[in-house]
Amino acid sequence: MAEVVSKKLEFPGVLIGQDVKAKRNPKDMSFLYVSVLAATAAVLIIFAFLWSRLMVVNTAYEISMANSARSGLIEQNKRLKLEYMSLKSPERIERLATELGFANPTSEQVVVLK
């Protein structure tokens, strides 16, 4: 890297006690390697951050879709329970039985099992 050379100049009162930097060697490529490495690391960090934010947004979208599907299933379950209760009602069963020609059993037709 750059070396600092300290020397006193012959001009009195001008630049006394100041450090003079020597020119950097143009063949020294370490600065280029370090800057390329730093830029690559910065780009990778940015991509990792963006990827994590996209995953958060995607997961939130999936949670929202699952919640709406759950709400739909709860509503369907309520409707099916109501339909089940209406199909199972004794009044409906008795009405269908009379339409089909069934009658209430007589006492001789009833068999008690022990």
Q: Over the stretch 32-67, which tens digit does the pLDDT of each residue have?
A: 899 999 999 999 999 999 999 999 999 999 999 999
- pLDDT surpassing 70 at residue 1: no
CB 54 within 8 A of CB 35: no
Rounded (5°) CA angle 99-105-110: 150
Domain count, the chain: 1
- As a dihedral over the C-alpha atoms of residue 69, residue 74, residue 75, residue 77, rounded to 10 degrees, the angle is 120
Domain span at residue 68 reads 51-93
Rounded CA separation 40/16 (Å): 42
Residue type (1 letter), 76: Q
> If you average pLDDT over every residue of the chain, what do you get?
86
In a domain, 29, yes or no: no
Q: Which two tokens stand for residue 5?
A: 């050379």
- Give domain status of residue 41, yes or no: no
Dump pLDDT digits (tens) for 80-101: 999 999 999 999 999 999 999 9
Question: Are the beta carbons of 21 and 2 closer than 8 angstroms?
Answer: yes
Give ∠ CA 27-33-34 in degrees, rounded to 5: 120
